[in-house]
Amino acid sequence: MTIGNNPKTRRQFLKTSATVAASALVSYNVQATLRDPLAPLSLTKDDVPESDKFPLGVACGDVTSSQALLWTCYEGIYPLKLALWHHKDLTKPILLINVARADGGFVHVDLNGLEANQRYQYAFIELNFNAKPVFRSRLGFFRVAPNANDLVPLQIGAVCCTYNSFEPTILEHAGERQDLDFFLLLGDTSYNDGAETLDEFRGKWAQNLSKDGYLALRSATSVTATLDDHEVENNFNPETIEPDRLQAAKRAFFENQPIRRSQEQPDRIWRKFRWGRTLEVFVLDCRTERKPSTRNQKNAQYISRAQMNWLKDSLSQSEAAFKIIMNSVPISTFPFFSESDRWEGYPNQREEILNFIDQEKISGILWVAGDFHFASIGKVDKEGPGKKQQEILVGPGAQFPNYLCLPLNLSSQFEWASARNNYVTLNFDPYKMNIELVYHGGAEDPRLTRRGEITEIYRTKIHLGKQ
């Protein structure tokens, strides 16, 4: 294997941003690197064997039409490089750069200047002290989003709720696929209940992300992640939780997910991503901005005024045919849950956003939620605000089944519901404004799910025409 004659002098990289908060996030412009006259380099994935110093694998997230955030966690002692290959040519990396590790071994590298709509492959590479590559991480794959005006079919996946005591076998199935443009993680990706210190939160994340399901999924395609309560603690109250504990939980969340952090507000979770003119994804934070002390009052706060205004403005301005709202806790009415932990406990804000979408006649909206440990497809409400809007529940990926969903199959509000562990794929047809939904299910008891027994359990097409 060769990496050129003089690796110390060959490469100059354009550094376009500096460290953000606690992570060593550095941004690199791929186009600038490609213009390096001393490129190309030569290095194939077969030149170096895989190392066991990347126990949490690799991940890619927050992809746009020119950017991708690449991630790993490295336990070794050697200097690290990131190698990026164009999918069309796996012999010559188009990028080979030094990457920095933050405390805990976490690496976040923000690439920009990528080609829209193209597929790439990447790996992190350990160098020995003579600057020779000796080992690498597993290989990761991702697709860059299409250009803003491209109206093209897309296919994505989604899941939530993978309990640390179970194997997320369902995600091994998803991780073997090569046809998913990206994947939504709706929260409860790691159940960190009981953790109080940063080390304890890191330990819980490592326990879950080192499982075969997550190793496979997160290397197969990029993810767009939000959190739910268990990344912190079951049904935590942000007004009363010990601030240091909440801070440790948030830090561990950002350390372990490939998320591009806001320069102005590094802890902000809500953000949006556009995939051509086909799809825009709005990632909500339904947990950390709540004020339960205001519940059922006139000005009750489920999400901050800033998040609400951003969501309304963004939906109004969106030129995408489909608008997915990633909503960790469902907004639909259900016949059996207490309202206190949900949008329904904050009816002023629930009605504000549902009425806004109806009154502004915003088309192509699909709410996508998790949290309840069952899958369902239905209208947000039978009557009143939201009756023209649809919400699907996805997952759980590895959790006890919730049989409360079964009566939903008899309700006119819902098309279908299932307690089986699952992930879903959404296939967007922007010409007909249809989304084909396919739920892939394992056993009802996640401990009994076997890789070979994961099958399609429900397929349907929903139409999202003009309101």
Binding site for Fe ion (CB under 5 A): 161, 188
Cα 156 from chain centroid (whole Å) = 11
Tell me how far, at minimum, the Cβ of 245 lies from Fe ion, in Å.
Answer: 19
- Token pair for 167: 């194997």
Closest to Fe ion by CB, 142 or 163: 163
CB 326 within 8 A of CB 282: yes
- Token pair for 341: 């932990």
Burial class (CB in 10 A: 0-12, 13-18, 19+), 79: middle
Closest to Fe ion by CB, 219 or 402: 402
SS in 3 state form for 232-279?
A: CCCCCCCCCCCHHHHHHHHHHHHHHCCCCCCCCCCCCCCEEEEECCCE
How far is the C-alpha of 326 from the C-alpha of 231, rounded, in Å?
16
Radius of gyration of the chain (CA): 22
Tell me how far, at minimum, the Cβ of 168 lies from Fe ion, in Å.
Answer: 12
Closest to Fe ion by CB, 143 or 287: 287
Tell me how far, at minimum, the Cβ of 329 lies from Fe ion, in Å.
Answer: 10
Taking alpha carbons only, the member of 84, 107, 87, 101 closest to residue 31 is 84
How far is the C-alpha of 438 from the C-alpha of 460, rounded, in Å?
7
Distances in whole angstroms, Cα of residue 257 to Cα of each of 56, 251, 268, 287, 397: 11, 10, 14, 17, 17
Region for 104 from its dihedrals, namely left if φ exceeds 0, alpha if ψ lies in -120 to 50, beta otherwise: left
Tell me how far, at minimum, the Cβ of 330 lies from Fe ion, in Å.
Answer: 12
Closest to Fe ion by CB, 161 or 380: 161
Closest to Fe ion by CB, 33 or 288: 288
Tell me how far, at minimum, the Cβ of 175 lies from Fe ion, in Å.
Answer: 20
Angle between helices 305-317 and 347-359 (to 10 degrees): 10
Taking alpha carbons only, the member of 333, 326, 345 closest to residue 413 is 333
Cα-based torsion angle of the residue sequence 275, 211, 447, 180 in order, rounded to the nearest 10 degrees:
20
Closest to Fe ion by CB, 27 or 332: 332
Closest to Fe ion by CB, 62 or 188: 188
Closest to Fe ion by CB, 161 or 223: 161
Q: Enumerate helices (H) and strands (E) in the chain, giving the number of each.
A: 8, 23
Tell me how far, at minimum, the Cβ of 162 lies from Fe ion, in Å.
Answer: 8
Tell me how far, at minimum, the Cβ of 282 lies from Fe ion, in Å.
Answer: 21
Tell me how far, at minimum, the Cβ of 232 lies from Fe ion, in Å.
Answer: 12
For 465, other C-beta atoms within 10 Å of its C-beta total: 9
Tell me how far, at minimum, the Cβ of 187 lies from Fe ion, in Å.
Answer: 7
**Which residues are 133's β-sheet partners?**
127
- Give the containing element (helix H, strand E) for 350: helix 347-359
Tell me how far, at minimum, the Cβ of 399 lies from Fe ion, in Å.
Answer: 6
- Token pair for 92: 């010559």
Closest to Fe ion by CB, 333 or 402: 402
How far is the C-alpha of 320 from the C-alpha of 325, rounded, in Å?
13
Closest to Fe ion by CB, 160 or 366: 160
Tell me how far, at minimum, the Cβ of 161 lies from Fe ion, in Å.
Answer: 4
Closest to Fe ion by CB, 358 or 444: 444
